[in-house]
């Protein structure tokens, strides 16, 4: 019990630093325009435009479905209907989900290792690693972002 009380401020501090670091590192991604992959997903959308939002949501909840990547299709349908062809809305949602992934990484590593330091270092690698830059600049990576989250 004492260990939990002592480590709580460190966990809070680590999470605040991770969130701040991520927001500073990823802020340029908010100004990215659509990529070729985004255009293909918005125009073709793996046939998700032929279904309603409710039907697409039903596909998300089913194990076997005729839909291809239904959760990503649901993302494209909802964001497009709310914001049209505004890339800022697409980028803001993607970056928010990546931030959730960073926090999830921290929580999972801490639960497995019991170490706040290990969790912090592991989440820092995800918060801004050169190999993952495409997550910050392309909405077409929504499939990978959602896969990690779920």
65 domain-assigned: yes
Query: What pLDDT score was predicted for residue 4?
Result: 55
CA angle 33, 37, 46 (to 5 degrees): 125
4 domain-assigned: no
- In terms of pLDDT, which residue wins out, 77 or 46? 77
DSSP string, 23-47: HHHHGGGGG----HHHHHHHHTGGG
pTM equals 0.85
Query: What pLDDT score was predicted for residue 108?
Result: 96
Q: How many domains does the chain have?
A: 1
pLDDT in tens, 91-106: 999 999 999 999 999 9
Query: What pLDDT score was predicted for residue 128?
Result: 82
Range of the domain at 132: 10-149
pLDDT in tens, 54-91: 877 777 787 787 777 788 888 888 898 899 889 999 99
98 domain-assigned: yes
Closest CA to 7 of 106, 142, 124: 106
Q: Judge contact between 18 and 101, C-beta under 8 A.
A: no
68 domain-assigned: yes
Measure Cα distances from 7 to 10, 13, 93, 138 in Å.
Answer: 5, 10, 31, 37
51 domain-assigned: yes
Asked if pLDDT for residue 2 goes beyond 60, the answer is no
62 domain-assigned: yes
1 domain-assigned: no
3 domain-assigned: no
């Amino acid at each position: 019990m004492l260990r939990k009380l002592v480590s709580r401020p460190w966990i809070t501090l680590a999470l605040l630093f991770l969130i701040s670091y991520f927001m500073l590192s990823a802020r340029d991604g908010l100004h990215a325009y659509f990529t070729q992959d985004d255009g293909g997903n918005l125009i073709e959308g793996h046939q998700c435009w032929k279904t309603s939002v409710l039907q697409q949501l039903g596909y998300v909840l089913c194990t076997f479905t005729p839909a291809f990547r239904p959760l990503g299709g649901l993302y494209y349908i909802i964001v497009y209907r709310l914001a049209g062809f505004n890339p800022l809305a697409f980028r803001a949602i993607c970056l928010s989900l990546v931030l959730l992934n960073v926090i999830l990484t921290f929580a999972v590593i801490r639960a497995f290792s019991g170490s706040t330091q290990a969790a912090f270092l592991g989440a820092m690698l995800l918060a801004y690693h050169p190999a993952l830059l495409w997550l910050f600049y392309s909405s077409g990576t929504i499939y990978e972002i959602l896969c990690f989250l779920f």
